[in-house]
Structure 1
Amino acid sequence: MKKVILLVWVSMLSLLSLAQPPEKNLPPEHLQIRYEPQWWPDRILLTPATDPATSVTVTWRTRAEVRTASAEIALADPSPEFDEYEKDYQAETELLVSEFARAAYHKVTFTDLQPATLYAYRVGAGDYWSEWVQFRTAAAGPEPFTFLYLGDAQNDLHEHWSRAIRAAYREAPQADWVLHAGDLINHSQNDYEWGEWFQAGGFIHCSMPVVVPPGNHEYIKNAEKRKVGISPFWGAQFNFPDNGPEGLEDRCFYVDYQGARIISMDSNADFEGQAEWLADVLEDNSNRWTIVTFHHPVISPSGDRQCDEVQQLWKPLLDQHQVDLVLQGHDHSYARGQGLITGTNPFEEASKTVYVVSVSGPKMYSITEQDWMDRAAENTQLYQVVEVGQDEIRYKAFMVDGALYDAFEIHKRDGKPNKVKELKISHKNRRRFENTLSDPDER
């Protein structure tokens, strides 16, 4: 059933903050024009549904005048006549008005799909349709899979982040989905920044489902820089399984994907409520692998920037249930290690959880050397390719020039803690500001 919702974020901000919003980060006029919505669909994005073997959700944007839109899907047969057998879905539509643009956002969840099957879909209305885009559903049971992991994009998305996500795709075009660790943009209310993020990813966003926990920059802030609510662009663009705590829809959820439970959490809000939910989700988990992602690191590689609530409320659960891999962002540097001892819970010594912080955009922070870091880097844009098998996870972190900076395997051992095996890498020197290009004029 179609629904039309008017979302005016300026009014919402006034009600939430009861204060004047901070100075607007207005773009040059040519950027506002460049990212204006059109009759043609744009910002097409796939997100996983509750059962990724039989369903998937697609969202897209058009001009506000498009109030009735739909999506078509068919088996991706090699014959060009495959589209004669398409199935139609009517979209849910909401109107979103910001200071930069007035646009309609549309959503369709394709259901009753066949597992491990290649489909083609397109979205549109009237005479204005996207191209046919292919994607593959998940297998119904445990099977090896690959995903891409990218840390904060945030700044200079058109100029600098585009090379990171495109290099990641070039390295692993067979990847099944993409994980972004939050802070996709710098100012959550700026439509043109979202336009740059979508343009940089291009067809990748509409052919590989994305998993995204919100970062602090996805939140609206008042004049005192306090977070007063998630950006209205978030719910319009990202639609995730509705299995998280009440009030955190599309921000906290999990997906069971081919023998792995992927848990995504919002490290900006309701830490106690999410801790209770996390305990249940980890306890009632029959998957062989568990991978957790959230934005703020348990321990910051860049000084005292960690989130105390994450460390005190969530980490004990991650350790107790021996989560295999935790993927984070926020600190614009790279760090990876196991021995992350905080002294806050009795499960730390036995836990062999691997914690990673990474960055894919151009904004960079210094690292503070710490005992838990097995590998670290500054001033380096990276992307990661993660291959999940039956008994091992193979993780590779590449610099955007394609050089392999970090690599290891996590080996699952029944009845014993995981074992991590370091793999050979092509770039052994630790990258620091003093031995990298830190001034663009030096290039």
Structure 2
Amino acid sequence: MKVRISSILCLAMVIGGAFSASAQTARPDRIILNVTENPATSAAVTWRTSTAVKESFAEIVPAQADPRTMSKAVQSKAVTTPWLSDTLNAHYHSMVFPNLTPNTLYAYRVGQGEDWSEWFQFTTAGKPGEPFTFIYLGDGQTNLLSMWSRTIRKAYEMAPDARLMLHAGDLVNRGNRNVEWQQWFEAGGFIHSTIPSMPSPGNHEYYYTPEDSGMVSAFWRPQFTLPENGPAGLEETCYYTDVQGVRFISLNSQEIEINPANMLKQKAWLEEVLKNNPNQWTCLVFHHPVLSTKSTRDNKEVRGHFQPLFNKYKVDLVMQGHDHTYARGKVGNTVYVVSVSGPKMYPLDPQPWMQKTASYTQLFQLVHIKGNKLRYESYTTTGELYDAFELEKKKGGGNVFTNKAPAGTAGH
């Protein structure tokens, strides 16, 4: 249930920064499609309106070229969550579309009365074993509208039929600053509304008060509708979804680093999710790298408590952010990647685990799953292939790694 007023009301003093005083109008904005636990048969959408809108609706129909079929759309009332402070009042609305047909093109819109969005189209996930592509983006964080926009748009241009898009934390720089979320949504535009997003929180989605050790952004849960199948208290930040034979898992690595109790919760939960995994492939996304790209950075809690589980259950791919560089390396059965999609950059220090590196380079990743093969491709924001490899799954779960990186690109 997405009514979470009590956790939102107290944020007046921490929003900060320049932003519009309220949601633009009764017409929906910030419309985003999110993954559900089973995106083959359901889809989640969230949007925002002014507080004048007391109730809002979503309509969905199998998409056809005949525009008359829109009149057959099924309408459902959304769950509405007030977002209240002394400087910003808005209503967030959410809908989970149930009972959908796998691998089917749908059209949907959201709104009420005379104020409706355009019709968006998306395709539900297919059945296990059917090939698909997904997008992985490291930190966007800064200059979102001016410079991160070109990365997400190029990724969409090259993979418009992607089944989902993963964000490895630090989507914005200050998680309670409305103007940054506005830029994040503007930069992605209709892409957010057509490819289901799977965001994982980073340290910059957190804020701190004298009374606590850190809390996720007040915007996070109202503006995303994500699976609530994670540990109690970490809903919609630690969760999993199954897509066409791949188990995708988001960990909340900020809580791993700052909160021992929540670290242990996630560790126990993750072991169960990995142990009881019917899928052929396992991919994780979270923010703090298991293996850092800087000698001055070391996420000991993440590495010490979670890498043994990755080894034990032969996790295939771990996608991370935080270090604002690029590095890729295979350790045991698992390939670890650190990437950055926004313009904030750091230098890197060569480390033994790295097999391919880059610095001061905006990148996005396309990952293609086809049967027992996983092909990974990392592209610059200008569209050049920078890195690539292939994993071939062998009987028993082990992977054969083949480097496919183009000759002449930097790295070691």
The structure-2 alpha-carbon separation of the partners of 1:329 and 1:99, relative to structure 1 and needing over 3 Å to count, comes to farther
Shift of 1:306: 3.1
Q: Counterpart of 1:435?
A: none
Alignment of 1:33-432 (within 5 A): 36-98=23-85, 100-222=87-209, 227-269=213-255, 270-339=262-331, 351-415=332-396, 417-425=398-406, 427-430=408-411
Residue 199 of structure 1 aligns to a residue whose secondary structure is helix
**2:259 matched residue in structure 1:** none
Residues 404 and 227 of structure 1: CA distance in aligned 2, closer, same or farther (over 3 Å):
farther
Determine if contact 2:41/2:98 at 8 Å carries over to the other structure. yes
Match of 2:5 in 1: 5
The letter of the residue matching 2:265 is: G
Query: How many angstroms does 1:138 deviate by?
Result: 1.0
Partner-residue secondary structure (3-state), 1:198: helix
Shift of 1:3: 5.5
| Equivalent pairs, count | 406
8 Å contact 1:73–1:87 — kept in the other structure?
yes
Structure 2 partner of 1:436:
none
Q: Distance in 1 between matches of 2:66 and 2:158?
A: 29
TM-score, structure 1 as length reference: 0.87
In structure 1, the residue corresponding to 2:219 is in which secondary structure? helix
Where does structure 2 lack aligned partners over 5 or more consecutive residues?
256-261
CA distance in 1, matches of 2:217, 2:35: 21
Kept after mapping to 2: 8 A contact 1:72/1:86 = yes
Q: What is the one-letter code of the residue matched to 1:191?
A: N
Q: Is the 8 A contact 2:11 2:218 kept in 1?
A: no
| Alpha-carbon offset, residue 278 of structure 1 | 0.6
Do the aligned residues in 2 keep the contact of 1:74 with 1:85 (CA within 8 Å)?
yes
Single out whichever of 238-247 and 177-186 deviates more from structure 2: 238-247
Task: Note if contact 1:7-1:96 (Cα within 8 Å) is conserved in structure 2.
Answer: no
| Whole-angstrom CA distance in 1 between matches of 2:153 and 2:87 | 27
Q: Secondary structure at the match of 2:254?
A: coil
Offset of residue 13 of structure 1: 8.0
Taking only aligned residues, the RMSD between alpha carbons, in angstroms, comes to 2.0
The answer to whether the 8 A contact 1:37-1:61 is kept is no
Partners of 1:70 and 1:411 lie apart in 2 by 45
Q: Is the 8 A contact 2:365 2:376 kept in 1?
A: yes
Higher Cα radius of gyration? 1
SS in 1 for 2:61: strand
- Aligned equivalents of 2:8 and 2:278: distance in 1? 43
Contact 1:37 1:101 in 2 (8 A): no
Q: Please state how far the C-alpha of 1:429 moved relative to its aligned partner.
A: 2.4
- Tell me how far apart the structure 2 counterparts of residues 384 and 143 of structure 1 sit (CA, whole Å): 20
Give the corresponding residue for 2:20: 32
Instruction: Give deviations 1:127-182, integer Å, cap 9, x for gaps.
Output: 00000000011113321110010000001101111111011111111211100101
Q: Which amino acid aligns with 1:109?
A: V
Q: CA deviation at 1:2?
A: 9.3
Distance 2:2 2:35 in 1: 21
The offset of 1:40, in angstroms, is 1.1
8 Å Cα contact 1:2/1:91 also seen in 2: no
Q: Which amino acid aligns with 1:361?
A: G
The alpha-carbon deviation at position 298 of structure 1 amounts to 0.5
Q: Aligned partners of 1:82 and 1:157: how far apart in 2?
A: 37
Identical columns (%): 45
| Partner of residue 434, structure 1 | none
Identify which range, 367-376 or 298-307, moves more after superposition: 298-307
TM-score under structure 2 normalisation?
0.94
CA distance, structure 1, for counterparts of residue 47 and residue 64 of structure 2: 24
Amino acid aligned to 1:364: M
In 2: Cα distance, 1:416 partner to 1:293 partner: 20
Residue identity matched to 1:228? G
**Cα separation, 2, equivalents of 1:36 and 1:61:** 7
Asked if the contact 1:72/1:87 (under 8 Å) is kept, the reply is yes
